[in-house]
């Protein structure tokens, strides 16, 4: 099947939009709830042990020089090795240590928004473009976790990453089913 289960997913989205719900995730991604409630499917996925995860070939073919062979693009033994390498850093104790940093950073973000509301808001109402604030929030947390006390050097990396993302975000014909033309 050329389109996989995309038609089924579209049908689920159209059905859910007819009956609005309070749960935003359910409204936007109703198929997640359908899949997680399908216990046979969950069992089958949890029994799946192949290292060939079916990552799209265009990630390596067209963008391999930029993306490298990280967790996002790797398959097979390379992916398994990387996962085993990173897993200890995501253990319970390490994550617990990160929670305090995340909470402190979240408090700072909320205080920043409160200051904007107090200074610019009429009757406590103001429009805040949250995307840049959240981007700064996540880059601060990531740089603090990766670079520790030297995190100011780490923060300089994220604008460069954002510039790469913007450069890659232009219109492209890559990844279209049945399209096998190589761009030069």
Report the phi/psi class of residue 116: left, alpha or beta, with left for phi > 0 and alpha for psi in -120 to 50: alpha
Contacts of 83 (CB under 8 A, 6+ apart): 71
What is the predicted pLDDT for the residue at 27?
A: 73
In order of 31, 45, 178, the CA distances from 9 in angstroms are 6, 18, 20
| pLDDT confidence bin for 85, thresholds 50/70/90 | confident
Q: What angle do CA 22, 26, 31 make, to 5 degrees?
A: 160
pTM recorded for the entire structure: 0.48
pLDDT of 17 strictly over 80: no
What is the spatial distance between Cα 14 and Cα 121, in angstroms, rounded to a whole number? Answer: 37
Q: Across the strands, what pairs with 125?
A: 122
121-157 pLDDT tens trace = 788 788 888 888 998 888 888 888 878 777 777 788 8
Q: Can you give the residue ranges of every domain in the chain?
A: 1-49, 50-87, 91-170
**CB atoms inside a 10 Å sphere around CB 66:** 11
């Amino acid at each position: 099947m050329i389109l996989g289960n995309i038609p089924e997913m579209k049908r689920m989205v159209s059905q859910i939009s007819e009956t609005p719900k309070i749960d935003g995730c359910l409204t936007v991604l109703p198929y997640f709830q359908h899949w997680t409630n399908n216990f046979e499917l969950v069992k089958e996925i949890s029994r799946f042990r192949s290292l060939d995860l079916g990552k799209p070939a265009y990630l390596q073919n067209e963008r391999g020089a930029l993306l490298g062979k990280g967790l996002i693009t790797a398959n097979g033994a390379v992916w398994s090795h990387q996962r085993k390498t990173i897993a200890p850093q995501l253990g319970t104790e390490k994550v617990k240590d990160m929670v305090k940093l995340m909470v402190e950073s979240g408090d700072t973000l909320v205080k920043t928004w409160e200051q904007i509301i107090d200074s610019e808001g009429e009757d406590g109402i103001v429009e805040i473009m949250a995307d840049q604030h959240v981007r700064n929030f996540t880059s601060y947390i990531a740089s603090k976790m990766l670079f520790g006390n030297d995190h100011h050097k780490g923060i300089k990396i994220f604008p460069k990453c954002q510039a790469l993302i913007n450069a890659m975000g232009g219109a492209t014909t890559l990844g279209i089913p049945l399209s096998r033309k190589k761009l030069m």
